[in-house]
Amino acid sequence: MTIELEASVVVPRKVDDVFAAAAGDADRLARYFTGYPPLIPGIAAAAIDGGGAPREGALRTVKLTDGTTIRERITRFDAPRAHGYEMAEMNALQRLFCANMISLWTFADEGGATRVVWRYSIVEKGALTWPLAWAVSRLFQRAMQRCLDNLSREER
């Protein structure tokens, strides 16, 4: 079973700037994704493995505020329209109930502003873990919206 989540926001900046802030600089994610403690940690730092710019197929190591680390595989990098990734390595909580987590951010020009839509598919392991996956996903969706709200408030 897959749990589908979505968050969205209109950011009062141009699409190129918003895409660069949200997807182009991995380390900036720590400013936006503060999590939803205690179950959903924020991002402490993020970087493309081996350095360089994000690109399809690249791995991104993400250090979380609870001391754990995850790795994401970039599956789509279509600047400035879309950025997608899936889990390459999950932390213990994610492994408990997830088979995978798949994310897609889309960016659309709205007359000088940018509509950002963040979708997450949580592929959970089965009926026994579904209640935990559902509960954690509700908190994760709040963390997603908080992240987008933080992105929209950032001054350029």
Closest to 41 in 3D by CA, of 129, 136, 150:
136
Dist CA 49 CA 61 (whole Å): 6
- Could you report the per-residue pLDDT of 3-15, keeping only the tens digit for each? 999 999 999 999 9
* pLDDT confidence of residue 131: 85
Query: 110-151, pLDDT tens digit by residue?
Result: 999 999 999 999 998 888 788 888 888 999 999 999 999 999
Per the structure, the count of domains in the chain is 1
Segment 20-47 shows an average pLDDT of 91
At residue 33, φ and ψ (nearest 5 deg) are -90, 95
Mean pLDDT (whole number) for 74-94: 96
Q: Which pTM does this prediction carry?
A: 0.94
Question: Tell me, what CATH number does 12's domain have?
Answer: 3.30.530.20
| DSSP state, residue 67 | S
Mention every residue, 6+ apart, whose C-beta is less than 8 A from residue 17.
Answer: 114, 156
Cis bond leading into 80, ω under 30°?
yes
User: Which secondary-structure segment (H or E) carries 10?
Assistant: strand 2-11
Partners of 98 in the beta sheet?
A: 124
Check pLDDT > 90 for residue 101.
yes
- Domain of 96? 2-153
Q: Give ∠ CA 40-152-102 in degrees, rounded to 5.
A: 45
> Above pLDDT 90, what percent of the chain?
78
Indicate the range of 23-32, 40-49, 57-66 predicted with least confidence.
Answer: 23-32
**72 band by pLDDT with thresholds 50, 70 and 90:** very high
Q: For residue 93, what are the contacts with CB-CB under 8 A and spacing of at least 6?
A: 39, 136
Mean pLDDT of 86-111: 94
User: What is the average pLDDT value for the chain, to the nearest integer?
Assistant: 93
